Structure 1
């Protein structure tokens, strides 16, 4: 098992990542906001995956073992925090509006503020983080081997359109059991989890430069318009604006 790197303080700064690059499993004793102002970033922990385009940031509480992975040419910004402005003890995805975006970029820039200016900018940044609404972009991980097998199959092929009953037969269990496991271990229904999975993969494929039509097909939507409708309801904008504010 790879050694988990420990850093007492979560770093603050900028870290460009090439497509597919990342930061291996580690933890720190303070909290952190991670934000990709270009590209798409995923954060994986023992309880699942969080994914965020440029309109979202990921909150990582102190002590959480996690790893980062970039999709597309990614400009990663890291903000280490000794305080917990959100009061959350678990990772979360936060909406990032234009003001919060500019604050993060200014605070983490190579020629970032110092002294009193840094303290004032930090105060405004913390205030904006407290106001940032949480977004449902968590893809929980299953623990039961039957549900784990089903989730793994759909990870391999998000366009797999088999019903829960059909998947249950392959997993050697019943539809009712799988539905119960979804609620207990994933915290949502099977259709809700599958939609989250497809949105997760859609963001990654969009970051790779695939067209909206190609992404819709690969992720299991019947049409590009159906994909755009689900994407807009989840993110508040169309797939074409996934990496801009």
Structure 2
């Protein structure tokens, strides 16, 4: 997978990836797990973007077009899951919690170990069993198709900390607050506030990975009160910003 700090589109292997490296859209006939043992990974498909810090692993089923971007000095682990072994895993891109056993299995299966193909298959089976039971913890940000929603989400992508109300954003996009609220629920499956919170958490994860302070991250991502940011981050990511940042080292 690795060539002078770069990734190819082959579905397996390990490599140290520099901050900001982008792997263009591609697909595989097999499934793929991608794990950032250090750093942060963002995986994008037509269904949106998933962010995975080091306590999560991304899953892309066979045949899905997907792209990756890496943040921080990333220890990237890519593991192909043969198509005939994918039947018990979900049929959509997702992100799963990484238990200590899942982490060790991922590291072992993406390292040069000299194991036989049968031993590799048995270890993959253990990993798949663990992922089937693991909770989905998707830092998933769905992206709209409707032009009015695209205009609103585009404004927020450009400035995640923007404090405008949905009514104010609607005036800029030429749509009513009521219409936009309905579209967020019907097209994206969540409220405007929830979508904006996930967007901000995505950016917060990246800021923390780059070494910004918790308070500085809160302010940059639109929270006036750091304690409110800590509560929101913990609810979505599963650990406090300080704990997340401490574990990066």
User: When the two structures are superposed, what TM-score results if normalisation uses the length of structure 1?
Assistant: 0.92
Quote the Cα distance in structure 2 between the aligned partners of 1:219 and 1:101. Answer: 30
Worse overlay, 129-138 or 213-222: 129-138
Among candidates 113, 128, 134, match of residue 126 of structure 1: 128
Quote the Cα distance in structure 2 between the aligned partners of 1:192 and 1:23. Answer: 28
Quote the Cα distance in structure 2 between the aligned partners of 1:236 and 1:67. Answer: 25
1:63-104 deviation line (CA, Å, top 9, x unaligned): 111111001001111111122254422111111111111110
Which residue in 2 is equivalent to 1:109?
111
Which residue in 1 is equivalent to 2:220?
218
Kept in 1, the 8 Å contact 2:43–2:69? The answer is yes
Larger RCO (CA within 8 A; separation ≥ 6): 1
Secondary structure of the corresponding residue to residue 39 of structure 1? strand
Superposition deviation, residue 137 in structure 1: 1.1
1:96-152 deviation line (CA, Å, top 9, x unaligned): 111111110111113363344323322211211111110131100011111101101
Among candidates 124, 145, 148, match of residue 146 of structure 1: 148
Secondary structure of the corresponding residue to residue 135 of structure 1? coil
1:72-221 alignment, distance < 5 Å: 72-82=72-82, 83-111=85-113, 113-221=115-223
Secondary structure of the corresponding residue to residue 73 of structure 1? strand
Which residue in 1 is equivalent to 2:32?
32
Quote the Cα distance in structure 2 between the aligned partners of 1:216 and 1:113. Answer: 46
Quote the Cα distance in structure 1 between the aligned partners of 2:71 and 2:41. Answer: 6
Gaps of 5+ in 1: 1-5
Gaps of 5+ in 2: 1-7
Count how many residue pairs are aligned between Structure 1 and Structure 2: 238
Distance 1:22 1:113, change over 3 A: farther
Which residue in 1 is equivalent to 2:20?
20
Worse overlay, 190-199 or 204-213: 204-213
Which residue in 1 is equivalent to 2:71?
71
Secondary structure of the corresponding residue to residue 62 of structure 1? coil
User: When the two structures are superposed, what TM-score results if normalisation uses the length of structure 2?
Assistant: 0.90
Which residue in 2 is equivalent to 1:3?
none
**Which consecutive aligned stretches of 4+ in structure 1 deviate over 6 angstroms post-superposition?**
none
